[in-house]
């Protein structure tokens, strides 16, 4: 009996001693683990935390040991690795040469899809074998610069034709001074080209103005039905010249928040476009609906329609489905681009349905707001002021 008790006490003591030895050994192993965090120069961590740019710190085997959320958001880092081969090659060059390098890269945004991001990257040695990458998103700047260059090139090309025509026609009139018939013919063509030039300049001005307008700051409640009625009135002359009737139907009033002048320009451009591409003795229909918190405006013509492969491009600046016909009708190629920008700035969308030989329907959807009585008075007085101003100009 005594022997059994003694054996139990000895076994318990050995168990306790074994557990203590295990815990001591485990603690020793934890304390002896290498520190994965790199030794940064004094103040470097504080600078990186407020630098406002994506950063990645890479070790001597190209493993990512530190990166901020922006680097992951840009798609530069996945897990503990650099995603793009271009950045890995940049790191290796800097490690080999010890010289700071920088460059601009167009990189895939993620593992799927066609999205890309343009980043300006600066790579520098930091603390022994570590390389620091600083990345700045230049995507929007690059795209804006490209759009600006394209726009300038397109404007130069578009202006060249009417300006050259005006110059040549002026010379022709001078040479035909003794021939009244020729003078009359050349003068008519000169007037047509000058109108086209004026329309092009006006379109460029409108496009520039809408890009600089803050709808949130300058907007106010406007009645879309009133704008549509006025837009139809402003296009009545060209409708009469082409013998095209324009009818407006649907809701008697519908209110949205925005810039009434810009919305007027967009609706007028849609109606004008429909009139220009409609055959004589046909009708352009303008509809207005209110549904599910949206105000929907549709403009339908009975024109030649647009082929499916052309429909994605009709909202591009200066793009024309039929360039020859556009010149004949006085189109500038800016009208639908202006519509798209105006509608987007008002939080809406514009879509197109069309079939060759069956006409086209452009549909604008804008967020609806509830009408207030004081809003009605503001819009009515503003519209009256615009109408009076136009009467004075005429």
Q: What is the mean pLDDT of residues 54-59?
A: 90
Predicted local confidence at residue 39, as pLDDT = 55
Residue with tokens 């022994």: 128
Beta bridge partners of 294: 291, 367
Contact 339, 269 (CB under 8 A): yes
- Which range in 44-58, 99-113, 266-280, 377-391 is most confidently predicted, on average pLDDT? 266-280
- What would the pLDDT profile of 324-342 be if each residue is shown by its tens digit? 444 444 455 677 888 888 8
CA distance 218 to 206: 16
CA distance 161 to 261: 30
Confidence at 320, pLDDT banded by 50, 70, 90: low
Does residue 30 carry a pLDDT above 90? no
Confidence at 107, pLDDT banded by 50, 70, 90: confident
Question: How far is the CA of 142 from the CAs of 47, 121, 208, 324, in angstroms?
Answer: 27, 15, 19, 33
| CATH 3.30.450.20, domain 52-137, yes or no | yes
| Percentage of residues of the chain with pLDDT beyond 70 | 65
Does residue 267 carry a pLDDT above 90? yes
Does residue 20 carry a pLDDT above 80? no
Confidence at 72, pLDDT banded by 50, 70, 90: confident
Q: What is the mean pLDDT of residues 120-139?
A: 87
CATH class of 215-387: alpha beta
- What would the pLDDT profile of 149-172 be if each residue is shown by its tens digit? 666 655 665 666 677 778 788 888
Mean predicted lDDT score pLDDT of the chain: 75
Burial of 30 (0-12, 13-18, 19+ CB in 10 A): exposed
Selected residue with higher pLDDT from 132 and 111: 132
Confidence at 346, pLDDT banded by 50, 70, 90: confident
Nearest to 372 by CA among 250, 255, 227, 293: 255
DSSP string across 213-241: --HHHH-EEEEHHHHHHHHHHHTHHHHHH
Q: What is the mean pLDDT of residues 242-264?
A: 91
| CATH 1.10.3720.10, domain 145-212, yes or no | no
- The whole-model pTM stands at 0.50
Does residue 33 carry a pLDDT above 70? no
Predicted local confidence at residue 170, as pLDDT = 82
Q: What is the mean pLDDT of residues 176-190?
A: 84
Predicted local confidence at residue 255, as pLDDT = 94
Does residue 179 carry a pLDDT above 70? yes
The structural domains of the chain, with segments of one domain joined by +, span 52-137, 145-212, 215-387
């Amino acid at each position: 009996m005594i022997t059994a008790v003694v054996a139990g006490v000895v076994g318990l003591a050995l168990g306790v001693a074994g557990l203590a030895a295990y815990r001591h050994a485990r603690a020793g192993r934890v304390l002896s683990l290498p520190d994965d965090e790199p030794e940064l120069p004094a103040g470097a961590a504080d600078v990186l935390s407020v630098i406002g740019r994506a950063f990645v710190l890479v070790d001597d085997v190209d493993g990512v040991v530190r990166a901020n959320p922006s680097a992951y958001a840009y798609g530069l880092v996945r897990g503990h690795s650099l995603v793009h081969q271009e950045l890995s090659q940049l790191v290796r060059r800097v490690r080999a040469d010890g010289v700071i390098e920088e460059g601009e890269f167009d990189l895939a945004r993620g593992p799927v899809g066609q999205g890309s991001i343009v980043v300006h990257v600066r790579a520098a040695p930091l603390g022994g074998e570590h390389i620091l990458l600083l990345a700045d998103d230049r995507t929007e700047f690059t795209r804006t610069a490209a759009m600006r260059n394209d726009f300038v090139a397109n404007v130069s090309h578009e202006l060249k034709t009417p300006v050259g025509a005006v110059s040549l026609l002026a010379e022709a009139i001078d040479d035909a001074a003794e021939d009244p018939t020729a003078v009359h013919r050349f003068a008519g063509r000169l007037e047509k080209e000058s109108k086209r030039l004026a329309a092009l300049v006006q379109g460029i001005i409108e496009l520039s103005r809408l890009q600089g307008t803050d709808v949130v700051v300058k907007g106010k409640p406007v009645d879309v039905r009133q704008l549509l009625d006025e837009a139809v009135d402003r296009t009545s002359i060209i409708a009469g010249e082409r013998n095209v009737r324009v009818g407006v139907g649907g809701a008697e009033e519908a209110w949205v928040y925005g810039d009434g002048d810009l919305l007027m320009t967009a609706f007028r451009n849609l109606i004008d476009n429909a009139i220009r591409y409609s055959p004589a003795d046909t009708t352009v229909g303008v509809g207005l609906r209110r549904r599910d918190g949206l105000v929907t405006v549709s403009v339908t013509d009975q024109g030649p329609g647009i082929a499916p492969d052309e429909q994605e491009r009709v909202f591009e600046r200066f793009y024309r489905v039929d360039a020859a016909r556009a010149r004949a009708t006085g189109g500038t190629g800016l009208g639908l681009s202006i519509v798209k920008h105006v509608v987007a700035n008002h939080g809406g969308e514009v879509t197109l349905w069309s079939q060759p030989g069956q006409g086209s329907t452009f549909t604008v959807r804008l967020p609806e707001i509830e009408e207030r009585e004081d809003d009605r008075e503001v819009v009515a007085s503003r519209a009256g002021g615009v109408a009076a101003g136009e009467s004075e100009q005429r």
